[in-house]
Each structure stands twice: as C-alpha cells, then as structure tokens.
Chains A and B, each alone.
Chain A
C-alpha cells in the first residue's frame, strides 16, 4: 500500500513511535546455520583426550543401560521405558558438564542423564517401574524428579537458579526438554522468565525428530529450535547432538556463561531417537527404515569410537574393556530389578500433607482394615506388603 500525500497536508511527516528502540542486538544471539561439530573436524585437535576417553566409556555404558532397561519392559519388570538410544551423547554431556552443586532438571526420557550424574540406576527407574513416583531425594542428588508433563520443569529450573543467585550461590540449572516440548506454553514462559531475570539456566532441547509420531516440520515453522532463543533475548546454539565432544563443549560454555552471570542459553541438539517413543509405540507407522538407517551411520557411540581409534587413543582391548564394564553394570541392574520392591500400602497416605488430615486418617484406617481382612482371609504374612 502506498501513502498518498493529500493536497494541503504536505507539512505532516509521520515520525516513529517515540519510545521505540531495540532492547537487544539480535546478531550475537543467532545460532550458526550448521550444527556445531567437533568429531571429524579441526576442532577435535583441541579436545582433551582424557575427556574423550571418559565420554566414550559413559556412552558405551549408557547404550547398554538403554538396551537393558528396554529388555526389562519385555520381562514385565518396568511398566514402560522411553529409550534414549541414539541420544546418549546429549544425556551424558548434560550430566558431565555440571558441578556437584548444580541442578539437573530431566524429562521422562532423561533417566540416563540422571544415572550419569551419579544417581543409583535402580532409584532412577522407580517412576518407570511403577513402585514410586521418585525413588530418590532430589536435594541429595540435585536432580529434580523426572518430569512427565512436557516442559513444566523448565520454569522450576528458572526459579531454582534465580533463588540460588539471590542467596549468593553460583549454582547453575540445566533443564532438558524435547522438540515437542518447545511448543508448550511453559517452554515459552520459562525462557522468557530466564532471560528477563538473567537466571543462570541452560535449556537443552534434544531435537530427536519426532514428538511421538509428529515430525519437527509439523511442530514448528521456526528456522531451527535454537532460533527461538533470539525472541527471548538469549543466545541460541545449534549443535550435532550425536557428537559427544561438541555437546560437551557447547554445554560447558553455556554453563560457564551462566555461572559467570551471563544469563541463560538455549542449546538445540540435533539428534535422533533410534527406538520408538516408548516400548508401547510402533515407530514403523510414521517413519521409514531408510531414515533410521541414515541415522545409524551417524551413531554417537561409533562416531566417537572411530575418532578415538583413528587417533590411537583407543584399541580393541580398550573397546573390550568398556564393553565388559557396561555388561557388568547391566548384570547388576538386571539382578536388582528382578527383586520385587517391598511396598507399604499405608505409605499412600503418608506424604500428602505435612500432617495427615482427619479425612486421610479415616481413609488410612479403612485401608488398614481391608489389609487386615485380606491377611486373615489368605493367611499371608507379609503384613500388607505387596508388589
């Protein structure tokens, strides 16, 4: 549309709105057009060999953890398992870049990150086994409960990081979310709060291609998920999520930036979920074998293994050593998961409120009566304990 100057109105010249000025320079916030890589590039020369070796060991263990947990679903020992096979580099890097005082905010798929941070593998699986919602004390490990609602843990990470800074602690929170989760309102609100408060938070989006069955192209029209950062006034980083060295470097930089008071960063890891959404999902309905095979050639464990063997940092003995260690971990996990957890049904009423209400006391009495009756009828001597 063109603006026509009316006769006699020549003196009028529109001016910009008086208050407008850019709040932030967008240029430094923009992600690079290509996902950042280290393995197979010149950047690998600067990577610490010891770190690469450690990442490899963790990747091998992580892969084995995923296959073992998936096997446990088939044996009925886990109610469900959302595998992170193919995404181990993201999981491991997220755990390793944090100091002990930092906090991890995992989603339901991030069991592996919690384990790599040092959580007991069985405690990490209680949610998925179905015996406890959270089988560990979040404060003890500084790992928030595995979060099933999408993106709702992100504002928690912001609030915690903000509170830590108010108390003068140099604590960083790292929050994990999937590509589907970036469509949720809580994702937006968390990033906005974090940027406005300059909270020491790192948001890690694992873009694994699908939100259950919905591909990324139906999830967003943004150039990339990392580009979303610009709209909030924080830097966005795009990284190869299967490149453990790149993941570790980018997340480390983001964590250090946050710790130094530089505010939040949004990191998008471009990766792929090799298995279905969970063991209950049929991935063949929404993606073809050829796509999966393309990604198999970009497997995070093999990428690092090739780099290490190529540079003489790893040989067949070393590979075997890690395989054996991973197998030992899996055997231990299997054995412990084969034991039935001992549960006290009366615990159902214990942690609803600090003090039981009169209503809950009544209901607890009712359940106690039912359990006693069951005990009398069946003569069981487990005192009401049930699987």
Chain B
C-alpha cells in the first residue's frame, strides 16, 4: 500500500500545476489514509474512479469496502450512509451530477440534516455529500443545475463550495472531518482549472465558515462563490480601465454565512453586487443582499444588485452562454451602481 501510495503521489506531483479535480481526489485519499472510518460510496466511484475521475485510485488503494460502487439509487446511497454514520463511520457520498441528487432530497432534509437535532445531540451524522454542480461544461439537461438555494434553506446542513484548487483540498478535508453533515458543492466547470498547488505539500485545512477577500478594492464589492469567482476576478481586472477598483469576496461557505467579512467589505466600499449562476428569484443572492442591507444600510451608496442566472430552467448547452452571468453582465451591474449620484 505504501509503495502504491508513493507512486500515486509521484504521478500527481509530476502533473504540476495541479487541477481542482486532483486536489479533491487528494483530499479524499488523505482523509481515508488518516482515518479508517472514512468510506467513499456512490455510483461509479470504484472501478471507474467516478465520471469526473475524482475518486480515481481510491478503490485500488483502500479496497472496495472503503470505496464502494453502489446500486444506482441516490436515496439508497445517502440513506445507507446515514446508517453507516449511525454506526460510527464517516461516509463521503458522491451524487455524480447536481440534478441526480434530487431523489436523495428526502433523506437529506428529513434525516441527514435533522438527526443531531431530533436526537437532542446524541446522534450527529458526519456525512459529506459531494455534489458536482453548475453549468458551463456543455452538459445536456439535468447536468448543470445550481441547487445551492435548496440546501441553504435546510437547517442542519453546512453548505460549502470551493472556487480555488487550494480551497478544494482544504475545504473537503475540513468537511470530512466535520461532525456535522456537509453538502460539498463542486463547481464542475472549475474541475480542470489549474493552480500552482503542490499535492506534496497540501494547503492547510481551512475552517468551514470563513469567507476570504480574493482581491482588495475600494470602489465596490463583488460577492461571489464557486464557479463565478473567476468571472468576478476577470471583471475586476476589466473594471480597472473604467477607473473602478473592485473588491472580490469569495464566500466559500454559504452555511454558515460569514456576515462579518461581507459586511466589513461592503462598509469599506459602500457598494455591492452579488454574483452567482443560480436563479435570482428565491436564489442565494436575495438572502445575501438582504443580510447586507440589514447590516450596512447606512454605509450603502447604492442598492445591492444581483447578477444571477435567469429565472428559467437551465437552458440547453447551445444556449447556456446567454444564461450564465459573464464578465460583461457583471460590469454592467457595476455600472448601474449609481456612480453619478455619489462620485
């Protein structure tokens, strides 16, 4: 096992810079190596290594009892994980694609999220539910949903989503180590994004629940997460030409929500735009905008704006570029922040 692990490590090391997919795989591997109670289960996670190859090599290294190909049934996968967690294991389940997780909703909402609460703290469930989410990869129907609002609306779940390679590793390790259930949303269009991240010296495990300022700025704050972070970073660079110095906040964790970092940023800049792929109506942006308004009203120079996906079912792949918030749409929103009134 040691030799196999070393070889796998060397292979990964040569493939520098690393991808988010590799960082996630490494986080699973390291978690399983550190803690024998960590079990991976899902459809295709074993022999195939997952349709996105995130679990590649785990069954070989840890055996198919630790990395298990299950029958094709999401409620069954998550329901079995509940029982495994009740007996002291730490299951990590893969939902393969965002919309494929819907059959497991009842298990997630009625049991995974509530077991600690309904047993008065006697039976916490340390389950990590990995859900590849979002669009931009040309997936056909049911392969591109952004379902974070459903998860956010359920007390008892942590909801996290990395936007960088380093965070993918750190947040997944923290999620697996958490005694609470975590819905771990993987922005699948960033799976192949690269960073100078060393699988040999993985970044420190980030605590769940802290947002981070990715780019400091003074004119306005872009608040975003997951797949929209690179869009916002690019928009911020583009905005320099217009004379706007945009701050970019990467939430990383939607639940718990880091009001402190967000409010501090908006108080500094006085303007905020929330950017995400998920639909605007009833989406995460509405909650975030409301929280900002409640905390920063007297600091605001303009209404908090949202740049979100349209309020439509996720479109067919040949049309998705019109739906996904891109750099221009973000900059348009920034332009609408009533600059004339205050500058």
User: Residues on A close to B: CB < 8 A?
Assistant: 132-140, 144-145, 149, 152, 154-164, 166-167, 173, 185-186, 189-190, 192-193, 196, 347, 350-354, 357-359
List, in ascending order, chain A residues with CB within 8 A of B103's CB: 185
- The contact of B79 among A145, A158, A359, by CB within 8 Å, is A158
Given contacts A138-B86, A163-B89, A353-B156, contact A152 B106 (CB under 8 A): yes
Interface centre among A138, A155, A350 (most CB of B within 10 A): A155
Residue of A nearest to B126 (CB): A354
CB pair A164–B87 under 8 Å, yes or no, is: yes
Give the A-B pair count, Cβ closer than 8 A.
Answer: 143
Can you pick out 26 interface pairs between chain A and chain B where the beta carbons lie within 8 Å of each other?
A134-B118, A137-B119, A137-B122, A138-B86, A149-B111, A152-B75, A152-B79, A152-B111, A155-B76, A158-B76, A159-B79, A160-B83, A162-B83, A163-B86, A163-B88, A186-B75, A192-B71, A193-B71, A193-B80, A351-B121, A353-B156, A353-B256, A354-B178, A354-B180, A357-B255, A359-B259
Residue of B nearest to A127 (CB): B118
Rounded to whole Å, the gap between the CB of B64 and the closest CB of chain A is 11
- The contact of A352 among B91, B110, B116, by CB within 8 Å, is B116
Chain B interface SS verdict (over half)? mixed
Residue of B nearest to A133 (CB): B118
Interface string of B186-230 (1 = CB under 8 A from A): 000000000000000000000001000000000000000000000
B117 close to A (CB within 8 Å) = yes
List, in ascending order, chain A residues with CB within 8 A of B71's CB: 189, 192-193, 196
CB pair B259–A358 under 8 Å, yes or no, is: yes
Measured in the bound complex, the distance between the Cα atoms of B260 and A137 in whole Å is: 36
List, in ascending order, chain A residues with CB within 8 A of B243's CB: none
List, in ascending order, chain A residues with CB within 8 A of B158's CB: 353
List, in ascending order, chain A residues with CB within 8 A of B114's CB: 133
Residue of A nearest to B116 (CB): A351
B149 close to A (CB within 8 Å) = no
CB pair B107–A351 under 8 Å, yes or no, is: no
CB pair A156–B122 under 8 Å, yes or no, is: no
Given contacts A354-B178, A357-B256, contact A186 B106 (CB under 8 A): yes
Residue of B nearest to A146 (CB): B118
- The contact of A167 among B76, B80, B87, by CB within 8 Å, is B87
In the complex, besides A138-B86, A167-B88, 20 extra interface pairs with C-beta distance below 8 angstroms are: A133-B119, A133-B120, A134-B122, A138-B119, A140-B122, A145-B119, A149-B106, A149-B111, A156-B82, A159-B81, A163-B86, A173-B83, A190-B76, A192-B73, A193-B73, A196-B71, A350-B121, A354-B178, A354-B180, A358-B259
List, in ascending order, chain B residues with CB within 8 A of A192's CB: 71, 73, 76
Residue of B nearest to A189 (CB): B76
CB pair B117–A156 under 8 Å, yes or no, is: no
Given contacts A152-B107, A357-B209, contact A186 B86 (CB under 8 A): no
Interface size class of B (residues with CB under 8 A): 35 or more
CB pair A156–B111 under 8 Å, yes or no, is: yes
CB pair A161–B83 under 8 Å, yes or no, is: yes
List, in ascending order, chain B residues with CB within 8 A of A347's CB: 120
List, in ascending order, chain A residues with CB within 8 A of B234's CB: none
List, in ascending order, chain B residues with CB within 8 A of A136's CB: 122
Measured in the bound complex, the distance between the Cα atoms of B121 and A352 in whole Å is: 8
CB pair B106–A155 under 8 Å, yes or no, is: no
CB pair B83–A189 under 8 Å, yes or no, is: no
Measured in the bound complex, the distance between the Cα atoms of B81 and A157 in whole Å is: 10
Measured in the bound complex, the distance between the Cα atoms of B89 and A160 in whole Å is: 9
B10 close to A (CB within 8 Å) = no
Measured in the bound complex, the distance between the Cα atoms of B71 and A193 in whole Å is: 7
State which residues 255-309 of B face A: CB under 8 Å. Answer: 255-257, 259-260
Measured in the bound complex, the distance between the Cα atoms of B87 and A318 in whole Å is: 42
CB pair A138–B180 under 8 Å, yes or no, is: no
Interface centre among B91, B120, B124, B260 (most CB of A within 10 A): B120
B70 close to A (CB within 8 Å) = yes
B313 close to A (CB within 8 Å) = no
Measured in the bound complex, the distance between the Cα atoms of B82 and A173 in whole Å is: 14
- The contact of A158 among B83, B180, B209, B260, by CB within 8 Å, is B83
CB pair A185–B75 under 8 Å, yes or no, is: yes
Which A-B residue pairs are the 3 nearest by beta carbons?
A159-B83, A155-B79, A189-B76
Given contacts A144-B86, A156-B111, A189-B73, contact A162 B123 (CB under 8 A): no
Given contacts A138-B123, A192-B76, A193-B76, contact A160 B84 (CB under 8 A): yes
Measured in the bound complex, the distance between the Cα atoms of B119 and A140 in whole Å is: 12
List, in ascending order, chain B residues with CB within 8 A of A189's CB: 71, 73, 75-76, 79
Measured in the bound complex, the distance between the Cα atoms of B39 and A162 in whole Å is: 12
List, in ascending order, chain B residues with CB within 8 A of A158's CB: 76, 79-80, 83
CB pair A154–B79 under 8 Å, yes or no, is: yes
Measured in the bound complex, the distance between the Cα atoms of B179 and A140 in whole Å is: 19
Measured in the bound complex, the distance between the Cα atoms of B209 and A164 in whole Å is: 33
Residue of B nearest to A150 (CB): B106
Measured in the bound complex, the distance between the Cα atoms of B116 and A186 in whole Å is: 21
List, in ascending order, chain B residues with CB within 8 A of A354's CB: 116, 124, 178-180
CB pair B83–A156 under 8 Å, yes or no, is: yes
- The contact of B84 among A132, A135, A162, A185, by CB within 8 Å, is A162
B65 close to A (CB within 8 Å) = yes
Interface centre among A133, A136, A193, A351 (most CB of B within 10 A): A351
CB pair A358–B256 under 8 Å, yes or no, is: yes
Given contacts A152-B110, A357-B209, A359-B257, contact A160 B86 (CB under 8 A): yes
Measured in the bound complex, the distance between the Cα atoms of B79 and A193 in whole Å is: 10
CB pair A352–B73 under 8 Å, yes or no, is: no
Interface centre among B88, B111, B155 (most CB of A within 10 A): B111
List, in ascending order, chain A residues with CB within 8 A of B118's CB: 133-134, 145
Measured in the bound complex, the distance between the Cα atoms of B114 and A149 in whole Å is: 13
Measured in the bound complex, the distance between the Cα atoms of B120 and A139 in whole Å is: 12
Rounded to whole Å, the gap between the CB of A192 and the closest CB of chain B is 5
Rounded to whole Å, the gap between the CB of A130 and the closest CB of chain B is 13
Measured in the bound complex, the distance between the Cα atoms of B124 and A137 in whole Å is: 11
Given contacts A138-B122, A155-B107, A156-B82, contact A352 B259 (CB under 8 A): no
List, in ascending order, chain A residues with CB within 8 A of B107's CB: 152, 155, 186
State which residues 157-173 of B face A: CB under 8 Å. Answer: 158
